[in-house]
Structure 1
Amino acid sequence: MQRTPTGGAGHGTAAAGDRPMSIGTVLLQLRDEFPEVTISKIRFLEAEGLVEPQRTPSGYRKFRAADVERLAQVLRMQRDHYLPLKVIREHLDALARGEQPALPSGGGLGDLTDGGPGTQPWRATAPRIGRAELLTAAEVTEGDLDEWESYGLVTPTAEGGYDAEMVTVAKLVADLGRFGLEPRHLRAMKAAADREAGLIEQVVAPLRRHRNPQTRAHAEATARELAELSVRLHSALVQTALRVRLH
């Protein structure tokens, strides 16, 4: 991974010079501008390849000023432009190569900042598709879709139509069906997904209640990261359980 030039990453960064810093020191520097950042968040960004601190022989992380600046850039692009981490990484790496890429457009704010009580403020307004479009894109029949809806696997929006993500859900349900897994077998997966979404909602809700509008807007990016971590954990748990059962 290539680095971006150093710059001000918030209060205190310039004074730190290029002395190696612990992850705790980095956290303190970033928190002036990003009050919601945590050590877990920094470690997550490292795991996703957004920053690569040096390691001591004993394994401790040692950050430089360039690492702190890059972290600050990542956090700003998430907060201000709602961009996925992959897009942010590609954009920053292009800048490090001396290119001048245009800043990609992120998700719309939607009800992210305007939602009232009972809304899901971390969720950007998603594109909607009609029933016929869903059937065509997922290559399924009306009967299939009716059955999946009866089990709650595919659900239309309150306004009518479907979120674009439902195409992916429909395709996956169809693929699992080819192995003999019927919709009734998949209800447990749906129930687990609903519980995970509820946990994410509990974590994100305080961000929505924050007085700082930027902090409230940051809820969407936080929810995305939590969802990604949840999916990775679920996959790891399933793989671990299979190894135990098949050996």
Structure 2
Amino acid sequence: MSIGEVLAQLRVEFPDTTISKLRFLEAEGLVEPERSPSGYRKYSWADVDRLRFVLAAQRDQYLPLRVIREQLLERDTAAAAPPQRPALVAVGPDGAVPGRTDSEPVPVDERLGRAELIARTGIEESTLAELERLGVLGSGASGWYDGDAVIIARAVAGLATYGLEPRHLRGFRSAADREVGLFAQLVAPLARQKDPAARARADELARELASLSQQLHAALVRVGLRSALGG
């Protein structure tokens, strides 16, 4: 397929995809289409599947290309390995797997109403109202809650089981705002450019900064807890 035909295939599921984005992913080594004698890109169905994997990981999990590249390598390695017998897992009477948590990725562009958000995350209505008052979570100008709101609500609901209340989480919002202000200074110059490739690089930089920030935060918390517990 030509790059235009690939774009038509992908835009059904990823409407924001552009030719510049496909060229950017090629330049980053995520896909390597063949070239015709005249130099035109020729994509296979395997290339399209690979691009679909990359775009879904960016959209649904907001993963940076560094992480996606590692996942692709693992996927390629698994595909080349000989098949193994499936492991048997004990299942409860309701079909649940003991010890397995709900880690299904949530698309960032998902749209949920208030009642659906509460039903899906298990958060209390009063807790949601307090989170919105404190600015920890919100529906935005559209009135809909997105995938990040689902992640926040699930985390808050989990912390609530340990006795943490919304008022205890105000510091998380303040810390996040400080990081946003710092990272925006790095991303804004690229985002302001009219070149679509620059916009793609800005999106990738934002994902990479968010990923590194999460790693740093988790490590600092682990170090602090070990120190507090005398480890």
Q: TM-score range by the shorter chain?
A: 0.5 to 0.7
What does 1:187-206 correspond to in 2, within 5 Å?
187-206=170-189
**Among 29, 43, 46, the residue aligned to 1:73:** 29
CA RMSD of aligned residues (A): 3.3
Shifted more, 207-216 versus 84-93: the winner is 84-93
**Aligned residue among 115, 130, 136 for 1:132:** 115
Kindly state the Cα deviation for residue 87 of structure 1 after the two structures are TM-superposed: 4.4
Number of residue pairs aligned between Structure 1 and Structure 2: 155
CA distance in 2, matches of 1:206, 1:148: 32
Determine which of 197, 215, 219 is the counterpart of 1:214.
197
| Structure 1 position 141 matched with structure 2 position 124 | yes
Question: Taking structure 1 as reference, are residues 176 and 208 closer, same or farther at Cα in structure 2, changes over 3 Å only?
Answer: same
CA distance in 1, matches of 2:183, 2:195: 20
Letter in 1 for 2:215: R
Tell me how far 1:94 sits from its aligned partner.
5.1
Change (3 A) 1:150 1:211: closer
TM-score (normalizing by structure 2): 0.57
TM-score for the superposition, normalised by structure 1: 0.53
**Post-superposition, which runs of at least 4 consecutive aligned residues in structure 1 deviate over 6 A?**
none
- Residue matched to 1:243: 226
Distance 1:138 1:95, change over 3 A: closer
Aligned equivalents of 2:144 and 2:159: distance in 1? 24
Runs (5+) with no aligned partner, structure 2: 1-22, 33-50, 81-106
Give the direction of change, closer, same or farther, for the CA distance of 1:153–1:75 in structure 2 (3 Å limit).
farther
1:225 to 208, 217, 220: 208
Structure 1 residue 72, shift from structure 2 partner = 3.4
How many Å separate the matches in 2 of 1:75 and 1:222?
19
Shift of 1:215: 1.1
Check conservation: 2:123, 2:156, Cα contact below 8 A.
no
Structure 2 counterpart of 1:3: none
Q: CA–CA distance in 1 between the matches of 2:215 and 2:200?
A: 24
Identity %: 41
1:1-247 superposed matches below 5 A:
72-74=28-30, 83=58, 84=63, 85=65, 86-91=67-72, 126-247=109-230
- Offset at residue 191 of structure 1 (A): 0.7
Q: Cα distance, 1:136 vs. partner?
A: 0.6
In the alignment, which residue of structure 2 is the partner of 1:24?
A: none
Pick closer, same or farther for the CA change 1:159–1:211 going to 2, 3 Å. closer
Query: How far apart, in 2, do the equivalents of 1:71 and 1:208 lie?
Result: 19
- Unaligned stretches of 5+ in structure 1? 1-32, 35-69, 99-123
